[in-house]
Structures are given as C-alpha cells and as structure tokens.
C-alpha cells in the first residue's frame, strides 16, 4: 500500500431522486473519521472486511441525527482500492448525501477527483492500466455487446496477451545481449536468426492485435454512420424515424438542415451513432455553405454512409457526384419515399440497396439488417471471443512498439550495431510496459482517470 495518501470521499451514485445513495470514503483515516459520526462505531472496530452495520449518522457538533444508514467496511488490502474503504448507504436524494459528505470533509477527508478511487486501486496494484481502461469501457458501454467485450478485458484478457508479448520480447532482447557478450564467437549468425524469428513472431501478434482496434472501438464507442444525400431526399425524416424521436426539423423546402445532428441507437446489441446533416449541393447562402462544409467533413470522418436517394424523382448528376465522394467508403444505398410512385428504374451504383419510406416508417427492419451485415463485415467471425484493444491509447502504444521492432529488425538485417538493435527492442518493451502501467507518466494517468466519474 502506498503510504501518506490523503483520505478521500465522494458520492458514488448519481445525484438526484433515487432510493439510496452510496458515499465512499477511502484511505488510512476512513475508519477513524466514520467512527466520529456513526452510532455503530464500536461494531466497526471489530468488523471484518465485507461487514455491513446499521446505525445513524449524527453530526457530533449539533447532535443532529442525519440519516439511518448501512455502513459497509472493507479493510486493506481486501478492498476495491487496496486501502481501508467504507461505503455509507444513505437514503437517496440530494440533501442527505451532501450533508454526510460535508461531515466527512469536516472531519478530515478530502473530496475525491474523478476516477481517484480507481487510481488508488491502480497505484496499489489492484489492477493494471489496461484493466482500468476496461472498467471505464464497462461504465460507458452503450450496448450489451460492448459491455461483454469490456467485461472480458476487465478480466485481464488483453493484459495477459500484452504481458506474454512483452515477455517474449524480453527473451529475445536477453538473447541479443548474450550474443553481444560473445560478439567475437562464431555462434553469432545462428543467434541473429533465432532472435529475428522470435521478434517477428511477436511483431505479427502485435500487428493482429492492432487490427482489432477498429472493431473494438465500434463495439465500445459505436459505429458512426452519416446520412448523406441531396437536399430534400428525406435524410432528416429517416434520421427521426430511426431514432424514433422528432429530433431534426423536416420541411418541404430543400436546404432545411445545416447543423450536424447526432443520435445513438442500439441495433441488435451494436451501438450505432447516426448523423443527419445538410444536403450536398451548391449552397445558396452563407449558412448553407457552412452546413455543406460540415457535411463534407462528416463524410470523411464517418465509419460508414447511408447514401439516400429519392426514388420518386429521377436520378441526377448531383446524385452521381455525391456517389463519387462516398464510393470509397463503407456504404448502403437507401432509396427513400418508396410510398410514392417510383421514378428510379436502374441504379448505376454498386452496392446493397434498401427501399424505405421514412414517412411511412417502412423498410426500417430491412435497413437495420443491412446495417448489421455491414458492421459484421468489419467484425470477422468469432471477433468478440479474441483479444481486442478498445482505446486509442492502446492502439497508439502498440503502433509505437511495432515501429521500434521494425527499426531493430532492419538494423539486424543490415548487420548493424547490436547495441542499437537492443536499444530499439528495449524501447518496444517499454511501450508495452506503458500500456499495462508498469511504466507510468503522471500526464497519462491524469488523462485516463479524468475520464471516470467522481466516486469511481
């Protein structure tokens, strides 16, 4: 346990109407502080970890009885954080939890920063950085599939894989260093080949792990799908129909939408973020010009496109020009307004075609199925059962490790200085250590833990 860390406290449940609230207090003074304000104090002294004690929170100065509560006691090292941790379950709402929190502060605890409890758990070796990120993914998961993936990483799946890769790089580097010591002996050639083989194996594994990031991100954060088309083809109507919400303004006038609107939907367990935006044409005025500019930027950023075409009017050059901008991306052709007489006979574009009527809410199941098929084209069979990285930090760390490995291998192939090769492999190992948190920088920790909510 890390000594001399201040005792911290926070309300760990959302503030507002609710049956109960949980206030956490953590650190070496947490038990002495709670003893001062809790009528069940004597029982806490003897309570083993995991005990729950009923009693009253009382302000010792005014003797005001604030609430009848349950106090859960977790003693170091058998707690979430690895330090003494107490959870006080009060009645819910805003007033009582705040009063209890103020009492704790008055008796020596400090309000916790976002994610500070989990940061303590990391500092006390209760979890690796990868597991802390997995925990954040669990809390933020938007759908069941995302939550399942995050849970698997929470159980150390990614951590174990990175550890194994690190170990095999360490082995190879050791082999190299032994070779260095005997540089003049004739065994040198054999060692070089052995090292190359080992390192290449690790590199291949890192590369396939890096490949999982796209799918991992989609499962955790969601796939972003931009609804693209000429003005008035029914983009906003489709957006509202998919979201089952009257979110975007719909009018018969072309050029209605200017801002980019976003909405999240769960499609068969996949989180999907739809974006409605301005129709693409030569803009008629300044607001529309800015809208079209934003729409074009979104086309670049989006993971996939719903290319909307009005099936009740003939295809135009404008549709073709839009097709050119999206044809390199993942897309589905959506023919809208199929409740009206059809005027589009043949579609000169490749790709999956779905007929819908945003107005009549027709064809939405078929569209959902096409979207599921598209997502599953990014996530290969058995994807979720494998080891998957889910955050940009992880992907960037792996990428950097691969770069150093490549440098080292190149030097090794060119017969370069073995010291330099060892340096590169050492750097690659350090990048993996940063991933698990074995090597840490305060800045990186700050960034990761600030994404948590207060009280986690």
Ligand X SMILES: Nc1nc2c(ncn2[C@@H]2O[C@H](COP(=O)(O)OP(=O)(O)OP(=O)(O)O)[C@@H](O)[C@H]2O)c(=O)[nH]1
Name the residues that contact ligand X, by CB under 6 A: 229, 231-237, 250-252, 254-257, 278-279, 336-337, 339-340, 357-359
In angstroms, give the least distance from the CB of 291 to Mg ion: 10
DSSP string, 43-92: HHHHPPTTEEEEEEEE-TTT--EEEEEEEEEE-TTSSSSSS-EEEEEEEE
Token pair, residue 103, equals 């009492």
Output 85 or 238, the one with its CB closest to Mg ion: 238
CA–centroid distance for 9 within its chain: 26
In angstroms, give the least distance from the CB of 286 to Mg ion: 18
In angstroms, give the least distance from the CB of 283 to ligand X: 11
In angstroms, give the least distance from the CB of 317 to ligand X: 17
Query: Contacts with Mg ion in 12-71 (CB under 5 A)?
Result: none
In angstroms, give the least distance from the CB of 355 to ligand X: 10
On whether the CB atoms of residues 394 and 213 are closer than 8 A, the answer is yes
In angstroms, the CA 42 to CA 55 distance is 11
Output 175 or 340, the one with its CB closest to ligand X: 340
Per CB under 5 A, which region of 9-17, 106-114, 257-265, 360-368 contacts Mg ion? 257-265
Which residue, among 456, 427, 438, has the nearest Cα to 199 in the 3D structure?
427
Output 212 or 240, the one with its CB closest to Mg ion: 240
Neighbours of 347 (CB within 10 A): 15
In angstroms, give the least distance from the CB of 116 to Mg ion: 44
Q: Which entry of ligand X, Mg ion, none binds 123, CB below 5 to 8 A by partner kind?
A: none
Query: Contacts with Mg ion in 178-237 (CB under 5 A)?
Result: 235-236
Report the half-sphere exposure of 26 (CA within 13 A, side-chain side). 31
Token pair, residue 266, equals 């769960």
In angstroms, the CA 326 to CA 312 distance is 22
Secondary structure percentages of the chain, helix, strand, coil, to 5: 50, 20, 35
Q: Which entry of Mg ion, ligand X, none binds 232, CB below 5 to 8 A by partner kind?
A: ligand X
On whether the CB atoms of residues 118 and 243 are closer than 8 A, the answer is no
Output 250 or 428, the one with its CB closest to Mg ion: 250
Output 160 or 251, the one with its CB closest to ligand X: 251
Q: Which entry of ligand X, Mg ion, none binds 57, CB below 5 to 8 A by partner kind?
A: none
Output 192 or 235, the one with its CB closest to ligand X: 235
In angstroms, give the least distance from the CB of 357 to ligand X: 4
In angstroms, the CA 383 to CA 266 distance is 19
CB within 8 Å of 305: residues ≥ 6 apart: 225, 226, 227, 228, 299, 326, 329, 330, 331, 332
Output 26 or 237, the one with its CB closest to Mg ion: 237
Output 248 or 422, the one with its CB closest to ligand X: 248
Q: Which entry of Mg ion, ligand X, none binds 86, CB below 5 to 8 A by partner kind?
A: none
Element spanning 25, H or E: strand 16-26
Strand ranges in 51-197 using DSSP code E only, listed in sequence order: 51-58, 65-74, 85-93, 110-111
In angstroms, give the least distance from the CB of 268 to ligand X: 24
Q: Is 240 among the residues that bind Mg ion (CB under 5 A)?
A: no
CB within 8 Å of 224: residues ≥ 6 apart: 273, 275, 301, 302, 303, 304
226 three-class SS: strand
In angstroms, the CA 130 to CA 123 distance is 13
Output 226 or 418, the one with its CB closest to ligand X: 226
Residues that contact Mg ion, how many (by CB under 5 A):
4
In angstroms, give the least distance from the CB of 257 to Mg ion: 3
Output 209 or 277, the one with its CB closest to Mg ion: 277
Single out the residue of 241, 257, 312, 390 in contact with Mg ion (rule: CB under 5 A).
257
Q: Which entry of Mg ion, ligand X, none binds 251, CB below 5 to 8 A by partner kind?
A: ligand X
In angstroms, give the least distance from the CB of 294 to Mg ion: 13
On whether the CB atoms of residues 77 and 125 are closer than 8 A, the answer is no
Output 321 or 447, the one with its CB closest to ligand X: 321
Q: Which entry of Mg ion, ligand X, none binds 350, CB below 5 to 8 A by partner kind?
A: none
Strand order, beta sheet including 85-93 = 51-58, 65-74, 85-93, 16-26, 8-11, 110-111
In angstroms, give the least distance from the CB of 304 to ligand X: 18
186-209 burial code (b ≥16 CB/10 A, e <16): eeeeebbeebeebbeebbebbeeb
């Amino acid at each position: 346990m890390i000594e001399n860390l201040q005792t911290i406290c926070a309300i760990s449940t959302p503030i507002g109407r609710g049956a109960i609230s949980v206030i956490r207090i953590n650190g070496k003074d947490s038990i002495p502080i709670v003893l001062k304000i809790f009528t069940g104090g004597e029982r806490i002294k003897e309570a083993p970890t995991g005990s729950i004690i009923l009693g009253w929170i009382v302000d010792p100065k005014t003797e005001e009885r604030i609430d009848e509560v349950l106090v859960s006691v977790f003693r170091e090292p058998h707690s979430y954080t690895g330090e003494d941790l107490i959870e006080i379950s009060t009645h819910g709402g805003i007033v009582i939890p705040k009063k209890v929190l103020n009492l704790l502060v008055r008796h020596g605890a400090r309000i916790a920063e976002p994610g500070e409890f989990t940061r303590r758990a990391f500092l006390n070796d209760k979890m690796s950085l990868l597991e802390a990120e997995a925990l954040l993914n669990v809390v933020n998961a938007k759908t069941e599939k995302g939550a399942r993936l995050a849970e698997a990483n929470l159980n150390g799946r990614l951590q174990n894989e990175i550890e194994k890769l690190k170990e095999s790089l360490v082995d190879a580097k050791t082999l190299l260093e032994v070779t260095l010591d005997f540089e003049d002996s004739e065994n040198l050639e054999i060692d070089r080949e052995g090292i190359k083989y080992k390192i290449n194996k690790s590199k291949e594994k890192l590369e396939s792990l890096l490949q999982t990031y796209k799918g991992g991100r989609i499962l955790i954060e969601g796939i972003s799908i931009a609804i693209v088309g000429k003005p008035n083809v029914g983009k906003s109507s489709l957006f509202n129909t998919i979201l089952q919400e009257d979110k975007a303004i719909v009018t018969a006038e072309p050029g209605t939408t200017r801002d980019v609107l976003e909405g999240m939907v769960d499609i068969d367990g996949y989180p999907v973020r739809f974006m409605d935006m301005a129709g693409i044409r030569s803009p008629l005025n300044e607001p529309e010009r800015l809208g079209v500019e934003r729409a074009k930027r979104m086309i670049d950023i989006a993971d996939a496109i719903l290319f909307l075409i009005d099936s009740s009017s003939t295809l135009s050059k404008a549709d073709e020009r839009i097709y050119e901008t999206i044809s390199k991306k993942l897309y589905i052709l959506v023919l809208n307004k199929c409740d009206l007489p059809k005027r589009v006979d043949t579609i000169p574009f490749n790709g999956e075609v779905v007929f819908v009527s945003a107005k009549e809410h027709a064809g939405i199941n078929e569209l959902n199925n096409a979207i599921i098929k598209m997502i599953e084209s990014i996530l290969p069979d058995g994807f979720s059962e494998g080891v998957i990285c889910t955050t940009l930090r992880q992907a960037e760390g792996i990428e950097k490790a691969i770069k150093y490995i490549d440098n080292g291998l190149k030097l090794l192939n060119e017969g370069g200085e073995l010291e330099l090769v060892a340096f590169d492999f050492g750097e690659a190992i350090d990048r993996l250590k940063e991933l698990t948190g074995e090597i840490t920088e305060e800045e990186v920790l700050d960034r990761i833990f600030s994404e948590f909510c207060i009280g986690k």
